[in-house]
Homo-oligomer: A and B are copies of this chain.
Amino acid sequence: MSTAARSLARSLPRHLARRPAPLRASAPRPAPSIPAHTTSIRHGGTLPDRSASFTKPTEDHLKVIRGFLSSPTSLLSTIDGSASADDLAVYNDDWMNKYHGKGPIVVKPKTTEELSNVMKYCYDNNLAVVPQGGNTGLVGGSNPVHDEIILSTSNLNQIRSFDPVSGVLVADAGVILETADHYLAEQGFIFPLDLGAKGSCQIGGNVATNAGGLRLLRWGSLHGSVLGLEAVLPDGTIWNGLSTLRKDNTGFDLKQLFIGSEGTIGVITAISILCPRRPTAMNVAVFSLPSYEAVQKVFSEAKGSLGEILSAFEFWDKQSFSLVKHHMEEHLGGERKVFETEGEFYCLIETAGSNAEHDEEKLSNLLEHLMSNEMVLDGVLAQDQTQFSSLWSFRELLPEASGKAGSVYKYDLSVPVGKMYSLVERIRERLHQAGLLEGDGKKEGPIRAVIGYGHMGDGNLHINIVADKYKEEYEKVIEPYIYEIVAENNGSISAEHGLGVMKAPYIGYSKNDTSVEMMRKIKQIFDPKGLLNPYKYIV
């Protein structure tokens, strides 16, 4: 951090630079229990068996499917030798190399009609299909579990139209998020979603998984910004719901069912989305704070002072900061002394607006208020683009930093903001009681760190548990306990990553029987044969 960026730290009154008071020990908590309404839950990580009702894909099927495609390169298969198993690995395996499908056929149609013909044939012949976008998911949702045909949207990659008056973009599902955003940037607009995986993920997949990302706080959920969809239903029917209208109250809003359906009721082939003007001014500041209560207070103050220009509010705990500082020092060298006074917690505030001068004034007023009222211990404000990225890196390097520190159990949870951090404390307490986490800091236990960080503005908490290795003993201490305490707090066991194959068995921790029953009925009317993305989501 440069001298300029540290100006705020230096200007901090001395009496603020005190050692933060230790967190009060949590009161003893009742034993966790699964709510009465919870559905039965299948524990453990074993994958479901192959369904006997699905046809095994053969060379005959492959020939027919090839006939639907305008280009020979749109079909790759180990069956006819047009591809090796290695060629198909990038489709069968997820990017973390955690899930490994055995799909022998990859189809990449170039038009919605081609895709529709393939789907119709598969439906008529009981061939199971897994839709795949950029394959950047974290729950094994877009990889085959067994020998499902992989239907990739990669070749559906055209921008169809953009209207600069309404800000409505219509584009094929396979357009890469970053490509769409670059296209919009040239016209002064922004795609209302931003993700770490933006260089690889596809906008169709983003919608199918209801991606959240870094600036949901500002641009809202895709349920609000997506205006229409085109999708191919399991039986091959092309559903044209590609409205560009902002308001349309004529019947059930069907597109909403597809947003976050994870490819189980249809394959999204195009989207229509409302894009805001691109902010012309952006600022970022990071603070150290004495407690989680202080983080909440600052969040509230930031919403009040920054109002319409607040675009992100992220937080992380001192354990996170310690890991990321260590990681930076190892890789970039030199001691990282960022704050005169470090804290129990840190938060990052970003603004995005249309007038740099106004935004800076608003942010300065907030900083002054926070410091003069001793709501934060210390703070740094980025003075240029390099510092902007540098401050964001404390947050963005967290997954990498914890990955370097050991084998990481990752959880993506949603809980009411007020209760959010208590989950991290309870996990620590449980691991401590089990003798896995040393509490005195003098001796390293098998669990090296439990860190909590996330999108405070969205109530989205990431817990990373860094262990010396992956071990069933540790997992049993963590799961299903972690899902139980989420359920106790009426939270979500998957805030933004979805269910996929990983969390499908655990839906009962976040949804009651009535909900799951409704979902099963909806799946049934769209896909009575259960051919589309089987073994996942609602099982």
Complex interface: stretch among A73-81, A178-186, A239-247, A472-480: A239-247
Contact (A243, B490) CB under 8 Å given A210-B249, A248-B510, A249-B499: yes
| Bound Cα distance A458, B168 (Å) | 11
Whether B358 and A361, one on each chain, are in contact in the complex, defined by CB atoms closer than 8 angstroms, is yes
- Any B CB within 8 A of the CB of A21: no
Whether B296 and A418, one on each chain, are in contact in the complex, defined by CB atoms closer than 8 angstroms, is no
Contact (A254, B416) CB under 8 Å given A249-B496, A354-B362, A492-B249: no
Whether A415 and B521, one on each chain, are in contact in the complex, defined by CB atoms closer than 8 angstroms, is no
Residues of B close to A259: CB separation below 8 A: 253, 256
Copies of the protein in its oligomer: 2
Which among B243, B277, B511 is the interface contact of A307 at CB below 8 angstroms?
B277
- Any B CB within 8 A of the CB of A494: yes
Residues of B close to A246: CB separation below 8 A: 216, 221, 414, 458-460
Whether A414 and B248, one on each chain, are in contact in the complex, defined by CB atoms closer than 8 angstroms, is yes
Contact count band on A: 35 or more
Q: What is the 8 Å Cβ interface bit string for chain A, positions 226-251, against chain B (1 contact, 0 not)?
A: 00000001000111110111111111
Which among B168, B224, B355, B497 is the interface contact of A362 at CB below 8 angstroms?
B355
Contact (A247, B358) CB under 8 Å given A166-B459, A223-B223: no
| Bound Cα distance A490, B225 (Å) | 19
Q: Kindly provide the distance from the CB of A247 to the nearest chain B CB, expressed in whole angstroms.
A: 4
Residues of B close to A358: CB separation below 8 A: 355, 358, 361-362
- Any B CB within 8 A of the CB of A498: yes
Chain B, Cβ-Cβ closest to A304:
B277
- Any B CB within 8 A of the CB of A204: no
| Bound Cα distance A166, B237 (Å) | 42
| Bound Cα distance A497, B250 (Å) | 9
Whether B499 and A251, one on each chain, are in contact in the complex, defined by CB atoms closer than 8 angstroms, is yes
Chain B, Cβ-Cβ closest to A250:
B510
Residues of B close to A414: CB separation below 8 A: 245-248
- Any B CB within 8 A of the CB of A101: no
Chain B, Cβ-Cβ closest to A226:
B223
| Bound Cα distance A514, B251 (Å) | 13
Whether B458 and A296, one on each chain, are in contact in the complex, defined by CB atoms closer than 8 angstroms, is no
Whether A353 and B307, one on each chain, are in contact in the complex, defined by CB atoms closer than 8 angstroms, is yes
Chain B, Cβ-Cβ closest to A240:
B512
Contact (A492, B247) CB under 8 Å given A416-B166, A521-B525: yes
Q: Kindly provide the distance from the CB of A168 to the nearest chain B CB, expressed in whole angstroms.
A: 8
Whether A165 and B511, one on each chain, are in contact in the complex, defined by CB atoms closer than 8 angstroms, is no
Q: What is the 8 Å Cβ interface bit string for chain A, positions 125-164, against chain B (1 contact, 0 not)?
A: 0000000000000000000000000000000000000011
| Bound Cα distance A165, B280 (Å) | 28
Residues of B close to A521: CB separation below 8 A: 525
Residues of B close to A244: CB separation below 8 A: 416, 490
Residues of B close to A496: CB separation below 8 A: 247, 249
- Any B CB within 8 A of the CB of A34: no
- Any B CB within 8 A of the CB of A199: no
Contact (A247, B514) CB under 8 Å given A188-B304, A308-B309, A354-B307: no
Which among B238, B249, B253, B511 is the interface contact of A250 at CB below 8 angstroms?
B511
| Bound Cα distance A309, B279 (Å) | 12
Residues of B close to A512: CB separation below 8 A: 240
- Any B CB within 8 A of the CB of A85: no
With A246-B414, A247-B459 known, 15 other A-B pairs at CB within 8 A are A220-B224, A223-B253, A224-B224, A245-B459, A247-B492, A248-B414, A249-B495, A250-B499, A250-B503, A251-B507, A253-B256, A254-B518, A308-B308, A355-B358, A358-B362
Q: Which residues of A contact B (CB under 8 A)?
A: 37, 163-168, 188, 209-210, 212, 216, 220-221, 223-225, 233, 237-241, 243-254, 256-257, 259-261, 277, 279-280, 296, 299-300, 303-309, 353-355, 358, 361-362, 414-418, 455, 458-460, 490-499, 503, 507, 510-512, 514-516, 518-519, 521-522, 525-526, 537-538
Report 11 cross-chain contacts, Cβ distance below 8 Å, ordered by A residue. A163-B416, A212-B249, A220-B224, A220-B225, A221-B224, A246-B414, A248-B494, A248-B510, A249-B495, A307-B354, A355-B361
